[in-house]
Structure 1
Amino acid sequence: MGILDRIFGGHHGGGHHGGGGHHGGGYGATPGGYGNVPPPPGGAIACPSCRAVNAVGARFCQQCGTSLAPSACAQCGTTLQAGAKFCGQCGKAVA
């Protein structure tokens, strides 16, 4: 075993990982890893602000209070999705 392995506990077999090897999860590499946001179950609505799962038809997020109801673009009247920052039809910024 080299001196660096003794100082840092080595990468495989020991150290503070209790048996070595990769400890799972991993930044988006596997389902449930950091950065993966699973889709809401069975037609539920994910809040565009906090990603909490809400019932279909809910008007406000039960976690943070963000409106889930679609609104209309002030310039062209196109229905905007909840959480949209710009109109998909004309490009106007949503206030």
Structure 2
Amino acid sequence: MRLSTVILPIDRWHEGGRDAWVHAEELGFHTAYTYDHLSWRSFRDRTWFGALPTLTAAATATRRMRLGTLVTSPNFRHPVTLAKELISLDDISGGRI
């Protein structure tokens, strides 16, 4: 059975953000996702980091776990630019996107 998890992009990378991704991999999750939203109602007074930079950082901190977004809105990104960013991220992650 393959299990997945969601990691919200709310923690600064060096203050727990990295640890969350590494811990998810250590727990054996097959895939970890994050949201590509502009914000989240219950976290409106906290930081909310970008999905693709967060996934890029997660790709460098993990080795096996697949990575992705639960939602990537075409309303906020041009499809060609998004495709190029995802191709780059897939290359950085060794094909784990």
Tell me the TM-score normalized by structure 1.
0.20
More strand by proportion, 1 or 2?
A: 2
Larger relative contact order, structure 1 or 2 (CA cutoff 8 Å, min sep 6): 2
Q: Which has the larger radius of gyration?
A: 1
